[in-house]
Amino acid sequence: MTGTKKLYVKTYGCQMNVYDSERMAEALGAQGYEQVESPEGADMILLNTCHIREKAAEKVYSELGRFKPLREANPDLKIGVAGCVAQAEGEEIMRRQPMVDLVVGPQTYHRLPSMMEALGRGEKALDTEFPEEDKFAHLPKARLPKRGPTAFLTVQEGCDKFCSFCVVPYTRGAEVSRPADRLLREARDLVERGVREITLLGQNVNAYHGAGPDGGEWGLARLIREMARIDGLDRIRFTTSHPNDMEDDLIAAHGDCDKLMPYLHLPVQAGSDKVLKAMNRKHTAEQYIRLIERIRAVRPDLHLSGDFIVGFPGETEEDFQATLDLVETVGYGTAYSFKYSARPGTPAAERAMVDAAEADDRLQRLQALITKQQRATQDAMVGRTVSVLFEKPGRMPGQMVGKSEYLHAVHVDGPEGLAGQIAKVEIVESRPNSLSGRLLG
């Protein structure tokens, strides 16, 4: 392949897909592709998909249909589908949408260069295997020369928990942890390119147990402590976690590792033990509450985030009330709630659904409580001084926006030169989804 071609990547879903999209773009960069911001005029379009939400596959087919005029205008345009919908649907994608040239699962995108060679021969390419080789070890070594101040770094993939509502074990496979020395090298590379904050990613990130350079096995806390030794790396976060894998040393790290930010996303999903058992969560509501107490004992200012599913099969009004009670007891700075939607192939999909109107009502009531707690958390920030890592200009001229240590979006009046800098800010106003402040010093 000669000359520079244009690549458009659209990413759906979680932060891990964002990371995967970056790596796929780099792999295709070695094939002569340059990433662009619009599908119009692109030589290749790649959809990196998510299979978590309801009707995910249908949304992908709908999106593909929008590209038909682009293919008609450019018969040489290549179209690919990657990610979890690709893994779940496989050949069905090409059958239903013949203009798709390439289908690649989330565990095989390191094979993109050879798949592109097949496209160059006029063939179609499909790879949704779960290979034994480490895909990260086979990706191109060349990296982009410059980055923004924040970055994602996948340290663990897959999940062995098999929650009855979740497709991740089937689309991402079993839990696999990357070797610690490779992660440390990649983190240093990111810092050299301007990154000051790294978020460690995994479907179940606190289940990380990777091979250490000392020949032993490192848990997530050990990895965080070693990354904290990297000069120029000022902030570390991790997501998403499972309550059953919050080990003692990771809890301790929240209290004694200064670079580990006081923000934790720790989903519980429900407050009813009956529902938790039906979800195969393998913990009780009381165990979750006691765990939060332990973490807050070492980090009292922790900003806690969570996930909730309402209308799970078999959920009664009493069960739902238990979820409201748990939210009241714990107190969340942020939380995300969803109405249950059946995912084909999961155990819960075979069970009778809760009445849709009842599920909708419960979702609205839960979201009202979560919004109340979130607003109270943000209002309590007014008058406090926080450290903000500035990322980009705001919507208004002369405005900059960044994230506090608690992951709140913070706006200030300041020059664009603040991008990539960490500065003290006094919070002066709480807005619905952000905070406003003034620079100190």
**Residues annotated as binding site for [4Fe-4S] cluster?**
14, 50, 84, 159, 163, 166
In angstroms, the CA 297 to CA 359 distance is 35
259/357 Cα distance (integer angstroms):
45
Torsion, Cα 268 15 239 313, to 10 degrees, reads: 10
SS3 assignment, position 184:
helix
Give CA 86 to chain center in angstroms: 18
What does the angle CA 252 – CA 422 – CA 25 come to, to the nearest 5 degrees?
A: 85
Q: How far apart are CA 307 and CA 217, in angstroms?
A: 30
Question: Rounded to whole angstroms, how far apart are CA atoms 381 and 128?
Answer: 47
Q: How many CB atoms lie within 10 A of CB 55?
A: 10
For tokens 């969340």, what's the residue? Answer: 332
β-strands 435-439, 334-339 pairing: unpaired
Our measurement of the distance from residue 433's CA atom to the centroid of its chain's CA atoms, rounded to an integer in Å, reads: 19
Q: What are phi and psi of 197, to 5 degrees?
A: -135, 130
Q: Three-state DSSP class for 104?
A: strand
Identify the bridge partners of residue 8 per DSSP, sorted by sequence position: 36, 45
Phi, psi for residue 241 in degrees, rounded to 5: -110, 160
Query: Which stretches within 237-316 are classed as H helix?
Result: 248-256, 273-278, 285-298
- DSSP string for residues in 203-221: TTGGG-EEEPTTSSEEEHH
Q: How far apart are CA 32 and CA 103, in angstroms?
A: 20
- Reported residue count of the chain is 441
Binding site as annotated, residues: 14, 50, 84, 159, 163, 166
The helix (H) or strand (E) run that includes residue 29 is helix 15-29
